């Protein structure tokens, strides 16, 4: 039992590092623009780059899983994240983007791996582990967003060293996680030497409507999250806040998101209709965005808490749907690949579109309206994704997801 708990803790610590290095950039985005000369559109592209990598690099996950198996591959992804942070230390703009691409590709594989590991190794604790995983993701973003500016002031360094420091935690996660997967790596190598066939890919998943709705919900909730993650501190600065207080806005919304992520799975199970949880999340986001649009100023922190709750809960729901809508870990890993590859391609448009619309309009009203409009497809896909059945159920006897656990 103790070994199982340390295994779960190591997995969750690895999950924290899937957002730390991404959440560190927005608080210093103004400094990056001033020292590198990036305009709003280029800055939006910088913040969108890791999310775009989440989408494209995730497509390689099934092949890499068959080559290395899931546990050892997670170790490699953590090392890749660390290396990306080191590359961003180099001066000039190209290494900044190159390092961001590298760590984004590492995170992309980790994004796919962890839901599959939860399905495989914690089937009886699926709901709890999914909630904790979602909190770990939000916690990583929260920690980096809230502490990057204070860390920069404490060590008296520039923004390059400050955002690179977060990579040390990826190295620490690697050292904590790797001892737990040595047996798996040895078993995988032995199976390869024996010529055992790898599990075949799941056929028909990319033509399944439910799989596409899980993917769409994952994409649009991530679109909302990364758009605000990338630009909320800049919006706060535009309202006259200091850099520290503007970064605090992101921490406040992220802390609220952690609470939403932790409570959403259990709340959904208690509701008579699971889709009610989706509607509640959309409503919270809409209220928060409208408040930020129509009544900024002293109430800004209130609006950040409201839409933070609305953004955190859908993350947990989306991760839960990947696990709950599949019958086994093989299906879970490949639905995770689909949902996170296409989903993060959708999400990558968020930071870029926010920056482009701000550059076009000179204000933040139009970008906030865009976030409100994007809630519509999020609602539609979420209503379908919340249905209690498995993907590809039409290929055999229809089976509710709750009956197959």
Q: What is the mean pLDDT of each run of 10 residues along the chain (405 residues)?
A: 80 90 88 89 86 88 84 93 95 93 93 84 82 85 84 89 93 90 58 48 85 96 90 86 80 87 86 90 96 87 94 90 84 85 90 89 93 97 92 59 42
Q: Which of 286, 15, 281 is nearest to 136 (CA)?
A: 15
| Burial (0-12, 13-18, 19+ Cβ within 10 Å), 275 | middle
Q: How far apart are CA 385 and CA 325, in angstroms?
A: 8
8 Å CB contact between 275 and 382: yes
Q: Is the dihedral of CA 320, 325, 327, 328 positive or negative?
A: negative
Chain length of the chain:
405
pLDDT score for 317? 92
pLDDT score for 203? 77
| pTM (predicted TM-score) | 0.78
Q: Which of 294, 288, 291 is nearest to 308 (CA)?
A: 288
Q: How many domains does the chain have?
A: 1
Q: How far apart are CA 6 and CA 71, in angstroms?
A: 14
- φ/ψ region of 37 (left if φ > 0, alpha if ψ in -120 to 50, else beta) reads left
8 Å CB contact between 248 and 142: no
How remote is the C-alpha of 70 from its chain's centroid?
Answer: 19
Q: Which of 57, 114, 104, 63 is nearest to 83 (CA)?
A: 104
CATH number of the domain at 236, please: 1.20.1250.20
pLDDT score for 400? 45
Q: Buried b vs exposed e over 152-189: b needs ≥16 C-beta within 10 Å?
A: beeeeeebbebbbbbbebbbebbebbbebbeebbeebe
pLDDT score for 1? 63
How remote is the C-alpha of 115 from its chain's centroid?
Answer: 12
Collect all residues with Cβ–Cβ distance below 8 Å to 261 and sequence separation of at least 6. Answer: 131, 134, 135, 137, 138, 312, 313, 315, 316
Containing domain of residue 218, as a range?
2-403
Q: Where are the alpha helices (DSSP H) in 69-166?
A: 70-87, 93-121, 126-155, 159-165
Q: How far apart are CA 307 and CA 402, in angstroms?
A: 30
Q: How far apart are CA 27 and CA 370, in angstroms?
A: 22
């Amino acid at each position: 039992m103790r070994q199982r708990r340390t295994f779960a803790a190591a997995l969750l610590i690895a999950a924290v590092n899937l957002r730390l290095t991404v959440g560190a950039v927005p608080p210093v985005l103004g400094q990056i623009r001033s020292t590198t000369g990036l305009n709003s559109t280029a800055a939006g592209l910088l913040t969108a780059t890791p999310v775009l990598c989440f989408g494209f690099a995730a497509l390689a996950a099934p092949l890499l899983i068959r080559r290395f198996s899931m546990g050892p591959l997670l170790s490699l992804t953590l090392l890749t994240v660390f290396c990306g942070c080191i590359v961003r230390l180099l001066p000039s703009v190209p290494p900044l983007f190159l390092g961001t691409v590298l760590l984004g590709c590492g995170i992309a594989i980790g994004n796919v791996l962890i839901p599959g590991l939860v399905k495989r190794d914690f089937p009886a604790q699926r709901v709890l582990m999914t909630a904790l995983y979602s909190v770990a993701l939000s916690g990583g973003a929260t920690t980096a967003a809230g502490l990057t500016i204070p860390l920069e002031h404490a060590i008296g360094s520039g923004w390059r060293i400050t955002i690179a420091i977060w990579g040390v935690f990826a190295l620490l996660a690697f050292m904590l996680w790797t001892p737990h997967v040595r047996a798996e790596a040895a078993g995988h190598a032995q199976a390869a030497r024996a010529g055992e066939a790898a599990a075949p890919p799941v056929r028909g998943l990319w033509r399944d409507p439910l799989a596409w709705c899980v993917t769409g919900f994952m994409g649009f909730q991530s679109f909302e999250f990364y758009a605000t993650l990338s630009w909320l501190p800049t919006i706060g600065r535009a309202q006259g806040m200091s850099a520290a207080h503007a970064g605090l806005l992101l921490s406040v919304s992220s802390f609220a998101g952690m609470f939403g992520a932790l409570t959403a799975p259990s709340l959904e199970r208690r509701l008579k209709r699971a889709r009610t949880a989706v509607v509640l999340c959309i409503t919270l986001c809409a209220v928060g965005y409208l408040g930020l649009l129509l009544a900024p100023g002293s109430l800004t922190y209130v609006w950040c808490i409201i839409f933070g709750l609305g953004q955190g809960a859908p993350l947990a729901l989306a991760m839960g749907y990947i696990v709950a809508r599949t019958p086994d870990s093989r299906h879970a890993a490949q639905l995770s690949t689909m949902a996170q590859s296409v989903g993060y391609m959708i999400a990558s448009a968020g930071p870029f579109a926010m920056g482009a619309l701000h550059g076009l309009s000179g204000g933040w009203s139009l970008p906030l309206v865009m976030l409100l409009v994007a809630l519509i497809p999020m609602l539609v896909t979420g209503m379908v994704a919340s249905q209690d059945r498995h993907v590809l159920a039409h290929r055999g006897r229809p089976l509710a997801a709750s009956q197959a656990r």
